[in-house]
Structures are given as structure tokens and as C-alpha cells.
Structure 1
Amino acid sequence: MTSSKSAIYWFRNDLRLTDNPAFALACAGVDCLLPIYTHDEQQDASSYEFARVGIYRKSFLQESLQDLRAQLQQYGSDLFEISGDLTKIFLRLKAELGIERVYCESIVAPEELRQLQVLRGLGIEVIDLWQSSMLDARSLPFAPEKMPDVFTQFRQQVEKQPHQFTKPAATVKSLPPLPKQESLAHSPINHLSPNASVAFIGGETHAQAHLRQYFERRLVDSYKQTRNQLIGIDYSSKFSPWLSQGCISARTIARVIADYEATHGSNEGTYWLWFELLWRDYFRFLHFKYGRKLYVSSGLGNQKSHPLNQEKFERWVTGNTGEPFVDAGMRELRQSGFLSNRMRQIVASYWIYDMQGDWRAGAAWFESQLIDYDVYSNQGNWLYIAGKGTDPRGGRPFNVKKQAKDHDPDGVYQRMWLD
């Protein structure tokens, strides 16, 4: 089989078959297709004294990969996990299989962009497709590079558009056969099963099941009223773990919202769920405009972050700051791999403003611990809180005592994690 008729599909943060345009494009364009997932040892390296990918993220990822592999096998295909240096991985595949074309989704964060530069530098043709947002970048009322900085202005212009989300792509009906690959073998990372306080199981199958039950139980109706609660599974949508790995697409969720509104009518809950998906898009599109600027100490401003104090940082990450509400949140994160959006803002604010901490270290800890880590949203939210992004207020310091009184007046949450 010639290389022009066979290709690799490189799964990245799109571990699904439903609404995956890049994968559909690959299936339509070749005679043989090798689906792979890479565990890049260079991306696993951290500049901090902790693992870049913690046990909860690893466990959720592995479940997602196992589910994807099972789906591919139902089509007569398979998923191959390959660990090592990215350059060596693709040089090996090129040499052993003669494949010189790779299809994948487009990710416009700095490290992910460098990965594609590496592949192209090896003489490999890379066909990458943007597909992780609710709105197609080409459908925006402005070029992403010239989008409004302030979210409210961004939202108002989007809301004037006739279409509030991009229609999901059709699921492939058949897959090309695998090329001959006798030398390749599955090499999944060790499966871990930590005892998480909130039960999330990775994979598209579980993502779709969660989506169905959420709308069947009409939990969306109360989304706006309950989204800032701290305890339980139903207080917010909990789509973020599956969105982070691409086990489900934002467009699929948006379509379900629209179908639900057509049947039951729109309400505050359905609007605010769409509104949060739009925030997710906003942080993505900011990368088209600012790119690497979003990753430097000063962010989009002129003032660098506070220097990192390792002793203070250790107290923060272990939940030993002496501020009970913050310590409860940090212990939940460390012991479960999850934290409510409200608590994320509170503990981030405390680290930046009360402890005079380096926002980048806080962002790196979230990257390590959160099962729903998303490079765009994590970076965007930390910059927003730190006042180094596009927030017109110039930062979001929180009054922790007031937040505890408002959101944990009886101390139930604090007792849950501190006792």
C-alpha cells in the first residue's frame, strides 16, 4: 500500500467517534488508517516538583482510551497507544509503515503547536482540523485574531448571529482497515482506580449516558440556581471531565440544549448552560489572538507575577494554609481530582492575593490534579483571576470569609474535607 493511500489518525483531545470531523475526513480520504494515541514523555515533564499528570487525570484518560479502543474495535479497527519521545514515535511509524500523512485535530496552545511543527519537520504531511469549540471559528462575526477582548462584547456580538452553535458532524459509518502493523502493540499506561469522591468514568459511552440522564431528569432547569453549590453530583452539569478529553463535543451538548428548548421551552438554566459553553469558546479563541503571551509571567499586562515561595506553595497545595474554607477546597482537589467552579475561583484568588503566589504555579497544580483539565480554560481562568488576562476589572480577589458565609454557611463542606 503506498503512503498516499494510508495514513495515521492521531487522537489528541478528541477521544470520540461522534462529531469528530477530523476523524471523518481521515476515514474518507484513505484506503488504510492507523488510529494512535501518543504518551509523549516530553509533555509529561514538569518544571515543578510534582507530576504534571496526576493519578486522577491518568485514570480518567486511560478509561477514555479503553472506551475509544472498544468502539474502534466494533468497526473492525483498533487503537494503538505508543509511549516515548514524539519525534522517535513518528520516525518509527514512518520507517516501519511507510506512512507520511497524519490527520488530527488542531490545538492552538504553544506545546501542541510545537508538536505539529516537529511532525512537519520530519517530512510528514499533517492535516489538522479545528473542532473543539461550540462555534466554528469561521462562523464568528469577526476574525478570531480580531475578537473583542472583553467577554461581554464577545457574547453580545455572537448573540446577534442567527446560529448559536455549529451543527455536529455526522458519525462515520465505516472505517478503513488497518495497514499492516505486525510490529506495533498496545502499550497502555497502568490503569489506576483512585477512590474519587465524585464518580466520573472516562469515555464517550459514559459521556453520552451522562448527557442523556442530565436532560431526562431536567436538571438543566435548575442549572443557574445550583451551579455554585459545592457538594454532590447534580449541582452543576459535570460535562467538563468528558469535554476536557474530547469524549463529547461542545456542539453535541449545544444541540441537545436546542432540542430540549424546542420541546420544553427555554429558561434561565438552558441559557446559562449555553452561556458557560460560550465562555469555554471564548478562552479557546483568545489563543488565536494572543498565543504565547497567555503563558508568560505578566500575561497580557506589564507586571510580572509574584515569585514562587516553595514553602507557601506546599501549604497551599496540601490544604494547610490555616484558612479552613481554602484548606477544605485544596484537600478535595488533592483527594478527588475535582473541585467546583466556585471553589476553584476562591482557592486561586487566595493563592494569588492572600499568599502572594505565582499564578503560573497555581495553574500548573490544577493541570496536574484536575481530571477535567483543559489547557485553554485553565490558562484563561487563572489569567482572569490574576488580572493578567482580558478582565476589565484587572483581577478578581475574593473575600474568603464572605464566600464561606455565602456558600458554606453551616460549615458542612468544610467538615466533610477537614475532619
Structure 2
Amino acid sequence: MSTVIFWFRSDLRLHDQPALAAALASGATHLLPVVCLAPADEATPWGFARVGPHRQAFVAAALRDLGARVAALGNPLQVCRAVPAVALPALARAVGASTVVCEEIAAPYEQAEVAALRAAGLAVHTVWHSSLLQPGDLPWPVAELPGVFSPFRHAVERAGIVSPQPLPVPASLLPPPGVAPDVLEAAGALPSPGHGADLDGGATTTSAGRDPRSSFPYGTPACDGGEMAALAHLAQYLARKLPHSYKATRNGLTGLDYSSKLSPWLATGALSARQVFAELKTFEREHGANDGTYWLWFELLWRDYFRLLHLQHGRALYRARGLSAVPLAPHNARGFERWCQGRTGEPLVDAAMRELAATGILSNRLRQVAASYLIHDLRGDWRAGAAWFEAQLVDYDVYSNQGNWLYIAGRGTDPQGGRRFNPVKQAHDHDADGTYRRMWSMS
């Protein structure tokens, strides 16, 4: 008997799962599916929670759904509240495994997790599957990726590169290893999801997840964190023909329908980008393409670009100067604190920061405005802002978060050397009657 450990990371789904397919085809006779939850007190270098309460609750819902789906295929999901370097070697010893298969994530923290497993003696096979396009299908090697998005997009479109078709849900899984549950629990596994496991570290879906002002009330069934809710949301979004109006509405500030709201599920991997694109192309064949459907592709391509930048530059994206040669000015700690609290005195920025803290959600437009204000008006360190977003956002994605903050700061791939959004003009353009600012006022 041989057992392979499959480690779910930012891919909490069964549809379109190349990494899981690799584990099932590994030649092992048994499979141990595992999730490692970040310890509740784990902090970033800036002192903020690595996974804040909003994302803890959303991920917990995703795991309850994933646990039920995996169990239905005859193999219970093992959840550990410990760092992978502790949890996975202990489980490997308990079940007699030596190999781990998982998603490849090209960011420093996640790369260090894999390195620690290899240092512990485990063979780790990683599979890249979070992007729409395969890096090997691009017109150039990743090392020669264009330094600006537009030439990248134009080259991809001219070459006619297509996304691979998403894989179906596996019909079955390998059986679990014949190890008693108490042995697995002694190795650090929690009870199975849905049977008393503390999946969210006590940060249960509180009233914050159901705030009536939220543009993504993740505590409600329609916005549940699981794969089934993700697929249902995509289906209803297409059935209502909302892609046709996406470009016209995407800069809205409030409500569920002004944007696709796919990002929370894409971030946890409960939804595959390739699944989204495949269904979008079916939609275009049946209902026609327009600038709205094109803009959804455009945004998916931006998401890919930030991933590819990580493959190209790695740790350089996490330096204070980023990809720029210009040193970083001293951090305005007091201004940053006011920004986090929504007390800068700039009404639109303050409203945005209060919404973020209360709901874990913020429109793309307001993310840009808030980030710009911290960097260009308050002279705060962009890395502090990125860390605050990491702690707050339901839809935190390491690639997009880092890429967008670098872009606004002028330390990434922006050909203009950074973007400053005038908050007064932005309020006039996007909240002319003050509805949004009143909704998130201090009173």
C-alpha cells in the first residue's frame, strides 16, 4: 500500500483540478486529502493577521462544502490548524506517506512552505493551475514577459492563445489510508468539516457577513464560500445576461450586480478561471459578444499577468522599491493608522476604509482610490497598505493584491510610473449624490 497526500491550497474545489488529477494518477493506492488552516494568531511582518476574520469565515464555508463533496466521493477531508511544515510531515508519518502533491504558488511565503516540506524529507510535486492561460503556451518564455500589460495582451490576442478546457469533477477518489481517526487526530487533524471542526478559529460568520450594506454578503446562501455556491453564482450571472453590461457598470460602488463578484471564489480557488472562461465563451456563442463580455476576458487576462509577473520576478516584487530603482521614502505611520481607521478626513477614502473593515469587500474603483490616497497623499508605505488589505479582504489574492499595489505605487509595471486618483474628482464621478459616503459615514 502506498499513500499520496493531496494538499489543498488556494484551490478549494473539485472541478478543473489538474493538481488533484496528478495525485490520482501518481501510482499511489491511497489518497489523504488535507487542508492546513493558518493558525489564528499568525501575523504578517506588519503585525496584521495573515487571514482576518472575514476571510476566515469565507474559507470555513468553502471547506464545509469541500469536505462534503470529498466525503461524497468516499474520502474524508483532513483539516489541520497548523502550518504545513508541522502538519504534513506528522500526517505523512502517521499514514506512511512520502509524497505530497499540491498547487504551485509563485509567491515567497507560499514558496517557503514548500521548501520547508522538502527540508523535512517529503517529496513535493507542485502543479501550476491557477491561471487562465498556461505559461508554456505564451509567445515568449516567462523570463521575457513584456514589462507592460498592453503589449502582453495584444501579443496573446494576436497569437490566438486559448485557455485549456476545464477538467470535470473526478468520478471517484482513491480510498483513504487505513489509519484510525484517532491516529490522524493525534497527528494534528481536526474532526471532519461539518462535524464540530473549528474551521474559522472562532471567527464564525457573524453579522459582518450579513451586513445589509455589503456588496457581497458572504454570510448568506447566495454568497456562501463553497464551490457549489460559486458555480451557482456564475450560472445566474450568465443567465441574467449581466456580462453584456459589465463594462458599463464595473466602476459601481455598491450592490451585488455592478460587477461579476467572482473574485472571492476565484481567490480561494472554489471557482476555476478556466471554468469561468469556458462558460463565458458558451454565453457569447448563444447570446452574442460585446464590449462587456470582452472586458471580462480583459480582467481575467490582468489576473493572469499578475501571476506571470510572480513567475518572472519572484521576491523582487516584495522589495520596498519593487521593480523600481527609486528608494522608498520613510513611512508615515500616523497617516497610515488614520487611513486604516477611516479617519483621514477625506470623505470618500474614509467611507471606503469603513466598508472594508465592516464587510471585507470593496469595489475595484475604491481600492484604487484608497491605495492611491495612502501612497500619494499620505506618503504611506505601499507594503503596509498591501498587508492591511491582506488582513481585511474576503477576496484576497496574493498575486493580484501585490500586483495592484505595485502598480498604483509606480513600482511595478505601470508605464506612467504610478497612478494618483483625485478623491474629490472620483467622488464627483462615481458618488455624485453622496449616497455611498452617507452609507458609510461615522454617524
Shared fold per TM-score greater than 0.5: yes
Provide the secondary structure at the position in 2 that maps to 1:160: helix
- From 189, 209, 217, the equivalent of 2:240 is 217
Distance 1:162 1:356 in 2: 42
**Residue of structure 2 aligned with 1:25, choices 22, 27, 30:** 22
Q: Which amino acid aligns with 2:107?
A: A
CA 74–42 in structure 1, closer or farther in 2 if over 3 Å, else same: closer
Equivalent residues in 2 for 1:12-411, closer than 5 Å: 12-29=9-26, 30-41=28-39, 44-182=42-180, 183-185=183-185, 186=191, 187=197, 188=199, 189-190=201-202, 192-194=204-206, 195-196=208-209, 197=214, 198-200=216-218, 201-411=224-434
- Deviating beyond 6 angstroms after TM superposition, the runs of 4 or more aligned structure 1 residues are none
Moved more, 41-50 or 65-74: 41-50
**Deviation readout 1:298-328 (Å, 9 max, x if unpaired):** 0001123333333211110110000001000
C-alpha displacement at 1:119, in angstroms? 1.1
After superposition, give the CA deviation of every residue in 1:382-405 in whole Å (9 maximum; x if it has no partner). 000000001110000111110100
Of residues 3, 8, 12, the one that matches 1:6 is: 3
Question: In terms of mean alpha carbon deviation, does 307-316 or 405-414 score higher?
Answer: 307-316
Kept after mapping to 2: 8 A contact 1:62/1:191: no
Which deviates the most, 181-190 or 256-265?
181-190
Amino acid in the other structure paired with 1:174: S
Deviates more, 1:184-193 or 1:407-416: 184-193
CA contact (8 A) 1:150 1:391 kept: yes
Q: Distance in 2 between matches of 1:68 and 1:50?
A: 28
Per mean C-alpha deviation after superposition, the further-off stretch among 231-240 and 182-191 is 182-191
Q: Which amino acid aligns with 1:193?
A: T
How far apart are residue 288 of structure 1 and its match? 1.2
C-alpha displacement at 1:43, in angstroms?
A: 9.2
Contact 1:220 1:269 in 2 (8 A): yes
Residue 328 of structure 2 aligns with an amino acid whose one-letter code is S
Consecutive unaligned residues in structure 2, runs of 5 or more: 186-190, 192-196, 219-223
Name the TM-score, length of structure 2 as normaliser. Answer: 0.91
Separation in 2 of the partners of 1:55 and 1:85? 18
1:27 maps to a residue whose letter is: L
Mapped to 2, the partners of 1:382 and 1:83 lie a distance apart of 30
Relative to structure 1, the CA distance from residue 161 to residue 169 in structure 2 (aligned partners, 3 Å threshold; closer, same or farther) is farther
Q: Give the distance between the partners of 1:377 and 1:351, measured in 2 at CA.
A: 18
The more displaced of 21-30 and 238-247 is: 21-30
Q: Could you tell me whether the CA contact under 8 Å between 1:331 and 1:417 is conserved in 2?
A: yes
- What is the alpha-carbon distance in structure 1 between the residues aligned to residue 38 and residue 56 of structure 2? 13
Equivalent residues of 1:133, 1:281 under 8 A apart: yes
State the Cα deviation string for residues 76-105 of structure 1 (Å, max 9, x = none). 111111122432222212222110010101
Partners in 2 of 1:389 and 1:181 — Cα distance?
A: 49
Look up the SS of the partner of 1:111 in the other structure.
helix
Note if contact 2:48-2:387 (Cα within 8 Å) is conserved in structure 1: no
The aligned amino acid for 1:84 is: A
1:311 partner letter: R
Q: Distance in 2 between matches of 1:156 and 1:345?
A: 24
Q: Which amino acid aligns with 2:53?
A: I
CA distance in 2, matches of 1:47, 1:265: 48
Residue 417 (structure 1) aligns with:
440
Question: C-alpha distance in 1, partners of 2:358/2:24?
Answer: 41
Question: Following TM superposition, by how much is the alpha carbon of 1:266 offset from its aligned partner in structure 2, in angstroms?
Answer: 0.8
Task: Give 5+ residue unaligned stretches, structure 1.
Answer: none
Q: One-letter code of the match for 1:192?
A: T
Call closer, same or farther: CA 1:290–1:43 in 2, change over 3 Å. farther
Q: Using the alignment, how far apart are the partners of 1:161 and 1:70 within structure 2? A: 41
What amino acid is aligned across from residue 10 of structure 2 in structure 1? N
CA displacement at 1:191 relative to structure 2: 5.2
Matched pairs, number: 416
Letter in 2 for 1:199: P
Deviation at 1:279, TM superposition (A): 0.2
Q: Cα distance, 1:42 vs. partner? A: 10
Q: Distance in 2 between matches of 1:85 and 1:412?
A: 44
| 1:352–1:386 contact (8 Å) kept in structure 2 | yes
Amino acid at match of 2:66: L
| SS at structure 2 position matched to 1:44 | coil
